[in-house]
Amino acid sequence: MTLFQRLPDGLEIRNRHEVIRIQAWGSHSLRVRASLHSIDVNDHGALGDAMEAGEPIIVIEGDRAEVVRGRIRVTAFLDRSEAIPEVHLAFSDTVSGRELLSEQREHFWTPGPRVYLGNRSGAFELQQEFTAYDGERLYGMGQRTHGRLNVKGLALDLVQRNGEVNIPFVLSDRGYGLLWNNPAVGRVEFADNATRWQVAQARQIDYWITAGGSPAEILAAYADATGHVPEFPRWASGFWQSKLRYRTQDELLEVAREFARRDLPLSVIVADYFHWSAMGDYRFDAEEWPDPSAMVEELREHGVELMVSVWPTVSPLSENYPRFRDEGLLVATDQGLEVHQSARDKGMPLAMPVSLYDPTNPRTREFVWDLIRRNYVSHGIGIWWLDASEPELNPAHPENLTFYAGPGAQVANIYPRENARLFAEGMAADGLPQTVLFSRSAWAGAQKYGTAVWSGDIPATWESLATQVRAGLNIAISGIPWWTTDIGGFHGGDASDPAYQELMVRWFQFGVFCPIFRLHGDRDPRNSDGYAASGGPNEPWSFGDHAYEIIAATIRLRERLRPYIHRQMAIASQTGLPPMRPLFVDFPDDAATWDVDDQFMFGPDILVAPVLHPGQRARPVYLPAGRTWTDAWTGQAMDGGQVVSIDAPLNRIPVFTTDGGPVLRAGDSEALLDEPNRTLA
């Protein structure tokens, strides 16, 4: 029989009913697809059209074949000594000769490394099993709440949730990166005995794998394959002010005026949810926001841009609901009515069912963007907060959804990416400048639309702050360079409580070194009664005089950092290297950096060690080998390759720079060094 067939860009393998297609997909990368009977070229993954990669080297010898593309080699072989012979794939690095990753059977008899369990619809439950390696470290997989940087040993759901951003890309310290290019709902287990990817319903196995001599090379290949983030807008690098919520135009403008009176830098202010007349109207409530154009004009006089919250939910009371419903622009359901969540929106006496629009439908994208154009862009607004875009479901059953793109079980994970696409393509078609699409979720490839992600509705606790550091580093590894948190956490926090003021100060000190610098939260006293919701004060001056001194100095520090930040953002756009990243990205040859999970690099010249515990006034810091490091606050130089104990008085966290890095000690930050032991009490 003919087991192997050459393709112009790779190899096709046929054994019994199974078909495996291996194609060069980048200079050092391969794409692998496998199914029964035939390969479906129609998919909703992140890879798009085949990349220009040149012709791979293909060698076929009996029951064994090799495909080599640059640094990566895949060996395919059929072991006829097995009880039920199946094709096995093994990947290696052509430079080092090291095995990167190999398939393994689930059982010596059956099943094999790839499993297809049919459901009589033409789709399958799919399983793909790889060998687990002792001591391997794995990073990425989007943004999670498990509080770990190294995901080895974890089982992770492949589904979108508030705070759980599913981007199925993993980077290994063995020298490879792997994208599970399948948006189906499922699960991955990075266990000690095997790595297993599983989805409940899909047409075929599909993954992309690359080899690199460094993490930076792997991230560059991944950006080339899934898309590069656009240029970061100049206004976006400053301070963003937000709270749940400014209820009226006058309330929002008064906050912006207070920033101006205090000469406190401000770049963006946010009109949060329920500013609308009804979910699905996509316009301001005229009683509360009578003159949006005048509001935007006044804000711009202060150098401030307005961002508005846009939810994908459509109320049955919306003036646009009949058209959404009758033209099939809503997400459908396999069973039950086309309602997906409950909310107490404008005009509702209590929480009622609402629906989601379907951004995978081109006609939906066209209709929604037309509403956005007429009701927001016409007032000069061009920054979009794409909240609840997982989408947020209640009950959380994405498998019950049916999209224009396909069954929810097969494609639900692309919802946030397609929602970002709606806005990016709409703005581009209208000739509008590149913006930031501030989203609570993402999938692979969302970065090419200008998606920025924040970490969702997180607790206002020290434990949560520590979790955010690891979450931000993993989503950076997953291809999203634009990221932030709700400074201070979202749920709760009493602005008058000295204990919370300390947390807020430390969170600000972390936030100033995040790609996006944004304050948000639902502070005590909280009122969550639907559209009437509005939490307590959440402005920089809300947390007491001494906390304000430190917070204001931190905001001014961010202003001084903005030229440096834009240089790093330009690098991210060009190469895929995120500005906020784990130490091992810059120092892969220093073995100790692969285990440091509470520090990070902010560009190549700033090392940040956040304070993550109450009352902590010093902390250990690992300085990577191969450089001389300078304490940004004291000017003391220290050799790399050692752990040092660094003072962390309330007014600063440990930050180190290298030769040629930015100077941080200036202005208010320097003045605060004169009284390091003041407390907030």
Cross-strand bridge partners of residue 355: 314
Beta bridge partners of 608: 600, 655
The alpha carbon dihedral of 129, 133, 134, 139 has a sign of negative
Token pair of 681 as six digits: 């009490």
Q: Which helix (H) or strand (E) holds 566?
A: helix 545-575
Burial code of 489-526, b = ≥16 C-beta within 10 A, e = fewer?
A: bbbbbebeeeebbbbbbbbbbbbbbbbbbbbbbbbbeb
Name 135's bridge partners.
none
Q: Are the C-beta atoms of residues 153 and 190 closer than 8 Å to each other?
A: yes
Distances in Å between the Cα of 395 and the Cα atoms of 171, 329, 455 are: 33, 21, 21
> Do 7 and 23 contact (CB within 8 A), yes or no?
yes
Q: What is the spatial distance between Cα 7 and Cα 73, in angstroms, rounded to a whole number?
A: 16
Closest of 611, 277, 578, 287 to residue 452, by C-alpha: 578
User: Are 550 and 510 in contact, with CB atoms under 8 Å apart?
Assistant: no
Cα Rg of the chain, angstroms: 26
φ, ψ (nearest 5 deg) of residue 152: -60, 135
Ranges of beta strands (E only) in 570-653 are: 580-581, 600-602, 606-608, 618-623, 628-631, 637-639, 642-647
Q: How far apart are CA 34 and CA 76, in angstroms?
A: 13
Is residue 501 classed as helix, strand or coil in its secondary structure? helix
Burial of 287 (0-12, 13-18, 19+ CB in 10 A): exposed
Q: What amino acid is encoded at 425 in this protein?
A: E
User: Would you name the residues annotated as active-site residues?
Assistant: 387, 390, 457
Q: Which of 116, 62, 58, 113 is nearest to 90 (CA)?
A: 113
Helix boundaries (H) for 183-306: 215-226, 249-261, 292-301
Q: Do the Cβ atoms of 36 and 15 come closer than 8 Å?
A: no
d(CA 26, CA 214): 16
- State the DSSP code for 32: E
CA distance 217 to 167: 19
Query: In this structure, are residues 232 and 433 in contact, taking their beta carbons and an 8 Å threshold?
Result: no
Q: State how far the Cα of 576 lies from the Cα of 219, in Å rounded to an integer.
A: 6
**For residues 308 and 385, is the Cβ–Cβ distance under 8 A?**
yes
Concatenate the DSSP letters of all residues of 513-545 into one string. Answer: TSSSEEE--BBSSP--SGGG---B--SGGGG-H
The Cα-based distances of 507 to 353, 459, 545, 606 in angstroms read 36, 12, 17, 18
